[in-house]
Amino acid sequence: MSILEQINSPEDLRRLSLTKLPEVATSIREFMLETLNQAGGHLGAGLGAVELAIALHYVFNTPHDRLIWDVGHQAYPHKILTGRRDKLHTIRQKNGLAPFPRREESPFDAFGVGHSSTSISAGLGFSLAFKQQGLANKVISVIGDGAMSAGMAFEALNHAGDLKADLLVVLNDNDMSISGNVGALSNYFARILSSKLYTSMRKSGKDVLKRIPPVWELARKTEEHLKGMIVPGTLFEEMGFNYIGPIDGHDLSTLVKTLQNVKEIKGPQLVHTITHKGKGYPPAEADPIKYHGVNKGFYQASPKVVAPALSSQPKMATYSEIFGDWLCEMAAKEPNLVAITPAMCEGSGMVRFAKEFPERYFDVAIAEQHSVTLAAGFACEKMKPVVAIYSTFLQRAYDQLIHDVALQNLPVLFAIDRAGLVGGDGPTHNGSFDLSYLRAIPNMIVMAPADANECKDMLTTGLMANCPAAVRYPRGQGPLVTLNEGSKALPIGKAALCRKGKDIAILSFGAMLANGLKVGEELNATVVNMRFVKPLDEAMIIEMAKQHDYIVTLEENAVMGGAGEGVNACLLANHSRNQIINIGIPDHFVEHASPEEMLESCGLSASRILTTIQQKVRKHSCNEVKSTVQSL
């Protein structure tokens, strides 16, 4: 039996001697590589946080002490150590482990996460709650250096420092460029700065010096500058935190001893650890972006890997790639075009643009609110800003979208990726609400392409429109089409008739058109590609209402407040008496599964759409017969 198989909870871990912990770390890495080779999932961040997860559970009495992870990509070792080792192969799959920490899954998951930069705010809430209740539970918030770039993290640090809250923040810094700070000297300083002797001397010395104001000010500045010379902690000290580090996040002895010291100190503490993303797997260490998330069969050292058969099908471009190519083409023609992203360069398909137009590319880090207002500033001075952002992350900048862009009617184009159901990342990353929240905003044009060519045309339409515009498109590939050269602007607010039928008209928005056409063939129904969510093609809607008994709306967005409700309002305003069937994402958060399983569970697969329409029509026909019989 391996040492990892003996650990079914942190309590088992805490029974081991300190000398056994490196063996545990090695076993966790081997287990992650083998398991994710079969299942896929987030790899690099977790490999880098193995020792940190071990040390935190070893020193603190979890789950009595609350451990809060930020984002959650790095929490796989945490899941392995907290009784979920045998289920790791199910992660991101339907009915399997959640991709991120989740309160409903385990008492060790103190706070559910998925978006970045929330752990310090949440941890402060935990700490203050324990204080109110007179409890002595410890609270530890783990945050990555990327997540620390968001304003929310600094707002929480500032508040915690001001309140002198008992909160430990662990900054997991995996930026390779500052690894030179790691070594014997910095580890020595970390142990000194976290020791009881230093803490007591620091406090007593300050108490004495405060009685002599000029000397106290000189001493304070001297200490500040001395610490600033040996550690990059002055900023955190100014915000009220006792800064400790940087320390080697893969040195378990130093980690454990430092955390044991810090555990006894009251007030806000920040421990700065330096780790390597992908630690222990050389390909991931060399290319942390590529190995951030992996598919099955990535681990070439595994004897179980079978080379996939070559497909005879042509490779289809993803919507992200379509956007990236369009961006470069338009930038070559439009010198005022600038592109902005909140740390989504690779995911949004902007790598080529960043290389070809570096002075017109702005990655603002994980700061969605800033990205939108930055674009507003650009637009005020006759530039043409394009904000590339995921649907779920645009939610974080809703106020800026309304007040800084739409209220001033500024021409900012939002290229909204990952709209709709995204698969294994689950409810925190699903783009379920963008049509609902965008169509409520005045001055907005909102478009949803049905395929790659339409996506390019809509992006051009939005760029040329002299107002705020959004194009929302799904993750991955669309229907197989021959890509057109270039792109053209579409008539704003005009739908396209795709199929003429009778009795039933299916009004499809965006990516649902392919399924809508399949259903249309089965039912001999009319199918319309609506294209624009705002403004709606009301003339087309009214025409369809006059020619058909049933109006079906189809969208990969929440039914509540979605495009279908816009159609309903139009029909109501025109006193239509059609039977209306709205099909979209139901009014609940959709759990992680494959994209196909998610569509099926939401009733958005072609077969489920067909069944829903048939049942509604059959029910209405029966009711009509009953009503006629009763009247006779």
Integer Cα distance of 67 and 58 in angstroms: 12
Per-residue 3-state assignment (H helix, E strand, C coil) for 435-478? HHHHCCCCCCEEECCCCHHHHHHHHHHHHHCCCCEEEECCCCEC
Per-residue 3-state assignment (H helix, E strand, C coil) for 513-549? HHHHHHHHHHHCCEEEECCEEECCCHHHHHHHHHHEE
Integer Cα distance of 560 and 554 in angstroms: 13
The residue from 257, 277, 418, 531 that is catalytic is: 277
8 A C-beta contact, residue 388 and residue 370: no
Amino acid 452 reads A
The residue from 84, 102, 384, 396 that is catalytic is: 396
Buried b (16+ CB within 10 A) or exposed e, 123-139: bbbbbbebeeeeeebbb
8 A C-beta contact, residue 387 and residue 402: no
Residues facing residue 244 across a β-bridge: 271
> Helices in 287-350 by DSSP H: which ranges?
319-333
Q: Length of the chain, please? A: 632
Integer Cα distance of 334 and 374 in angstroms: 19
Active site residue 355: no
Active site residue 277: yes
To the nearest 10 degrees (0 to 180), the angle between helices 319-333 and 452-464 is: 40
Calculate the alpha carbon distances from 270 to 241, 263, 625 in Å. Answer: 6, 11, 72
Integer Cα distance of 367 and 147 in angstroms: 9
Buried b (16+ CB within 10 A) or exposed e, 431-459: bbbbbbbbbebeebbbbbbbbbbbbbbbb
Q: How far apart are the first and last CA of the chain?
A: 80
**Nearest alpha-carbon partner for 367 in 393, 347, 406:** 393
Phi, psi of 42 (to 5 degrees): -80, 125
In the three-class reduction of DSSP (H, G, I as helix; E, B as strand; rest coil), residue 41 is classed as strand
Integer Cα distance of 507 and 596 in angstroms: 22
**Bridge-based pairing state of the strands 268-274 and 167-173:** parallel
Active site residue 333: no
Neighbours of 537 (CB within 10 A): 22
The residue from 66, 84, 92, 368 that is catalytic is: 368
In the three-class reduction of DSSP (H, G, I as helix; E, B as strand; rest coil), residue 291 is classed as coil
Judge if the upstream peptide bond of residue 479 is cis by omega within 30 degrees of 0.
Answer: no
Q: Which residues carry out catalysis?
A: 277, 368, 396
